[in-house]
Structure 1
Amino acid sequence: MARAEHEPTLITSVQRALRLLDAVAELPDGATAKYLARSTGLKLPTAYHLLRTLVYEGYLHKVDDGTFVLGERVSELNTAGRGHVTRGRVRAVMSALCDSLGAAIYLGRYHNGEVEVAEIVDNRRCPRVDTWVDFREAAHATAIGKCLLAGLSRDARADHFHRHPPADLTPRTVTRVHDLVEARRAELVLDWEEYSLGTACLAAPVAGAEPVTLAISFPANRSATTTEYLDPLRAAADELSRALVLDGNAASF
């Protein structure tokens, strides 16, 4: 019978290797090649060949007594997999917020002494801000940057502005270092045309091991009605805080 058009082309050797990995994973103390061959229905030479390949690639480790156990690559994949799950949850929250508010959504963090924008969700109806100045150099002029810096100690903020002296980006940009260093942590931070004329931004802190923030950007002429953004932004930031704490992956997105 001819193969159906919708039927996928499967690589038998890959399937067999995965079956061996599954079999080893079910046995905390590992298993011999003979046992694994029997349990997976493979011929012993085939099992040996696949096991040697899996050991070589780091997915299995052969113990001195001849048993096979899971290797370091499996642990690395497990860690990376948890990170992908976290990233998926983060993007789901951001996408829902983008759709409900009609605004571009940003997730930022302060990592290794710099402001980073880790994720952006936007669309044609609500495009992201044109990044005409790198956010690392413009923390003083963006709600994202100011919210992240507010999560640092006073000395850390002073150090940041020593490395990145604030510059005038628009007539509304606050550049007085004393005011920026002494700024208090707030539930919400607003940037009204400080980074880019015609654009406003709101940011809310997200709980984590390092400063994290969720922010939205929108036309500045809508800033008089920012109350429509406040509760949804707070709620989304709280949801992300819970997700990151539960997953233990605040630094993985």
Structure 2
Amino acid sequence: MADQAGPEPVAAVRRALRLLEAVGAHRSGATVQQLAREAGLPPVTVAELLPGLARDGFVTDLGDGAYVLVDTGTGSGAARDGRELHERVRPVLTALRNDLSAAVYLTLYEEGEIRVMEIVDSARTPRVDLWVGFEDAGHATALGKSVLRELDGEARAEYLSRHTLTGLTPRTITRREELLRQLDTSSAAPLVMDREEYARGTTCIAVPVYSGDQVGSLGISFRSDRMYRSDRVREGLLASAIRVSRRLSLPG
């Protein structure tokens, strides 16, 4: 089921990524007005976003009203290297695990499959037993459904044509029509939940993340008998999703 959080946090991620792309096109720096035109954003929005990107270490204020991307010292393909990806996002995932006391997962949609890229857990916050691979369980997890909801109709239909909606627990949705209805209900809400659809006794909550044009998901899992303040989970996941998306999308 989807949490009613509204579209703004997801839109904020997309605005930040468009701005980073515009900044990256100017090796000598670009002004707020230039970046606003190229990113298709209002100048006031760009002016509000840039200080946060600077604090997070993604852009540098040259002091004359111009901004450039921070030099990471890596090659253009490094961000796609597995080790580089881990180095970029693991601190954010670890902080989220510690803040919410829950195992944290990152997925990306690659070559038509939902792939788990990173899991950060601990003895106190164990991961769910991945007894069925995500390639066969996207319909049964919040992480998978978060990705499926972001795909366009054609890509979603293509994915579902290749994957059987297997019943993993009594709560798993196994009818395509019901799954599509759930994905399309409150589609503006950024949070998705599965309660014991993948594994009995486990609840998962996820939000979308982006690596350029590539969609993925960020989520947590915890015992279903644990109680969480929904606003704390929402705020923690959405703030972390923005940071993860920036780190995945920042040019190397």
TM range (shorter): 0.5 to 0.7
| Structure 1, gaps ≥5 residues long | 1-76
Q: 1:134: which partner in 2?
A: 133
Identity across the alignment (%): 42
Q: Give the Cα–Cα distance (whole angstroms) in 1 for the partners of residues 201 and 86 of structure 2.
A: 31
Structure 2 counterpart of 1:200, from 200, 203, 219: 203
Match of 2:224 in 1: 220
User: In terms of mean alpha carbon deviation, does 95-104 or 174-183 score higher?
Assistant: 174-183
CA contact (8 A) 2:88 2:248 kept: no
Please, what TM-score do these two structures have when normalized by structure 2? 0.63
Closer, same or farther: CA 168–235 of 1 in aligned 2, 3 Å: same
Tell whether the 8 Å contact from 1:140 to 1:166 is kept in structure 2 after alignment: yes
1:182-215 deviation per Cα after TM superposition (whole angstroms, max 9, x unaligned): 5234300101000001000000111331111111
Is this contact kept in 2: 1:158–1:181, CA < 8 A?
no
Q: Given the two structures, how large is their TM-score scaled by the length of structure 1?
A: 0.63
- The alpha carbon displacement at 1:87 in A equals 3.0
Residues paired across the two proteins, number: 172
1:215-240 per-position Cα deviation (integer Å, ceiling 9, x unaligned): 10011112564443111111100111
The alignment partner of 2:167 has SS state of: coil
CA–CA separation in structure 1 for the residues paired with 2:113 and 2:161: 13
| 1:1-253 matches, cutoff 5 A | 78-79=75-76, 81-82=78-79, 83=81, 84-182=83-181, 183-184=183-184, 185=187, 186-208=189-211, 209-222=213-226, 225-245=229-249, 247-248=250-251
Q: Deviations over 1:139-185 (max 9, x none)?
A: 00000100011111122212212211101111111111023235234
Higher RCO (CA-CA < 8 Å; seq separation 6+): 2
Considering only aligned residues, what root-mean-square deviation do their CA atoms show, in Å?
Answer: 1.9
Aligned partners of 2:168 and 2:199 also within 8 Å: yes
Aligned position for 2:48: none
Q: Can you give the 5+ residue segments of structure 2 that lack an aligned partner in the other structure?
A: 1-73
On the 8 A contact 2:103/2:120 being kept in 1, the answer is: yes
